[in-house]
């Protein structure tokens, strides 16, 4: 892969498009997120279908055509400097065959989201453009830390965060360098074998997940193994595993680093020699700190864990 393009930094007064590429969102769920954009000196420009509702087996933010139109508008408009998604959910895969980003590639801009947005971020990386795997603008549910938002704004302003976190008993020690790929495991799994899948060769892979049964988690891990992903990557970073196995009402979002999920993952990768970080603060969790998909990442796993992100 040729050198990954990092979109330019924003300046005060720049316009940030806010769109809903997947699940439906309500106005009150975005009040705090939109105020963060405005409070940092930017203008939030709302997509036409930001609050649209369309039910067809799932509560989408509009039809496939409506959501695609908002995405293509946001990515290609010359007066838009970044795209910040309202939420994930389900539906980003619908958009992939219909994206047209010729103007975006002439003037790349930061795309911010996580969860189902992993599908879009994989697409953008295949086009050679980095994106920010970070908190969406929806703040209801498990809550969002102010730190996660402020670090995301730092990236928009050209300041790339590095991280040092405590080690865990599941970590696999060592050092590795490579371009960061990944995001939500269900989407990584769903894109395998398609033209939109990540290229895993010599990469650092990041995964996180929410609301899956343990057998489903293992099924996705097995798919990655059978596809040869674990033979190709140079390192693995595991974020939140939230509300796993049990129904949501039997757990709370503070139990985001599910112990048995980590046991499953650790067991699945034992035969491989790459270093692995467990408990990284990114995912469907309160302390959701941004990672840059497409960044050149160096990871060192020992008594402490260091993750550095570079262009």
| Structural fold of domain 15-156 | Rossmann fold (3.40.50)
* Residue 157: per-residue pLDDT: 98
* Residue 144: per-residue pLDDT: 79
Picking from 186, 210, 184, 207, the residue whose alpha carbon sits closest to that of residue 285 is: 210
* Residue 91: per-residue pLDDT: 98
* Residue 139: per-residue pLDDT: 84
Q: Per CATH, is 163-310 categorized as 3.50.30.60?
A: yes
208 noted as active-site residue: yes
* Active-site residue identified among 122, 212, 256, 284: 284
115 noted as active-site residue: yes
* Residue 141: per-residue pLDDT: 64
Burial 255-279 (b: 16+ CB within 10 A, else e): ebbbeebbebbbebbeeeebbbbbb
Burial class from Cβ neighbours inside 10 Å (0-12, 13-18, 19+) for residue 195 reads exposed
What the block records as the tokens of 51 is 């609050």
DSSP assignment of 72-112 = HHHHH-TT--EEEES--SS-HHHHGGG---HHHHHS--EEE
- 71-110 pLDDT tens trace: 999 999 999 999 999 999 999 999 999 999 999 999 999 9
For the chain, residues with pLDDT lower than 50 are: none
Burial class from Cβ neighbours inside 10 Å (0-12, 13-18, 19+) for residue 171 reads buried
pTM of the model as a whole = 0.96
* Active-site residue identified among 115, 122, 197, 256: 115
- Cβ neighbours of residue 12 under 8 Å, at least 6 residues apart? 41, 42
172 noted as active-site residue: no
- Using CA atoms, how far apart are residues 238 and 171, in angstroms rounded to an integer? 10
% the chain with pLDDT above 90 = 93
* Active-site residue identified among 208, 209, 212, 286: 208
Q: What residue segments make up the domains of the chain, in order of their start?
A: 15-156, 163-310
């Amino acid at each position: 892969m040729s050198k990954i393009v990092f979109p330019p930094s924003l300046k005060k007064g720049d316009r940030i498009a806010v769109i809903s590429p997947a699940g439906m969102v309500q106005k009150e769920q975005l009040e705090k997120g939109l105020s963060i954009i405005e409070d940092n000196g930017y203008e939030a420009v709302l997509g036409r279908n930001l609050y649209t509702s369309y039910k067809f087996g799932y509560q989408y933010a509009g039809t496939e055509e409506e959501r695609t139109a908002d995405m293509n508008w946001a990515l290609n408009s010359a007066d838009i400097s970044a795209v910040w998604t309202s939420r994930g959910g389900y539906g980003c895969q619908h958009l992939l065959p219909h994206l047209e980003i010729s103007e975006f590639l002439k003037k790349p801009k930061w795309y911010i989201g996580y969860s189902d947005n992993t599908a879009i971020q994989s697409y953008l990386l295949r086009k050679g453009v980095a994106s920010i795997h970070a908190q969406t603008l929806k703040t209801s549910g498990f809550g969002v830390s102010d730190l996660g938002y402020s670090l995301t704004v730092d990236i928009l302003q050209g300041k790339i965060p590095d991280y040092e976190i405590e080690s865990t008993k599941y970590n696999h020690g060592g050092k590795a360098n490579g371009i960061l790929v990944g995001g939500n495991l269900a989407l990584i799994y769903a894109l395998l074998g398609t033209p939109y899948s990540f290229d895993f060769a010599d990469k650092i892979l990041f995964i996180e997940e929410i609301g899956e049964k343990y057998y489903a988690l293992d099924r996705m891990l097995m798919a990655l193994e059978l596809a040869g992903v674990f033979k190709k990557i140079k390192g693995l970073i595991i974020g939140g595993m939230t509300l796993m196995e049990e129904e949501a009402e039997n757990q709370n979002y503070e139990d985001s680093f599910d112990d048995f999920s980590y046991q499953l993952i650790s067991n699945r990768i034992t035969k491989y020699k790459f270093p692995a970080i467990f408990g990284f603060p990114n995912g469907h969790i309160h302390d959701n700190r941004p990672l840059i998909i497409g960044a050149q990442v160096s990871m060192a796993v020992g008594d402490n864990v260091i993750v550095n992100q570079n262009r």
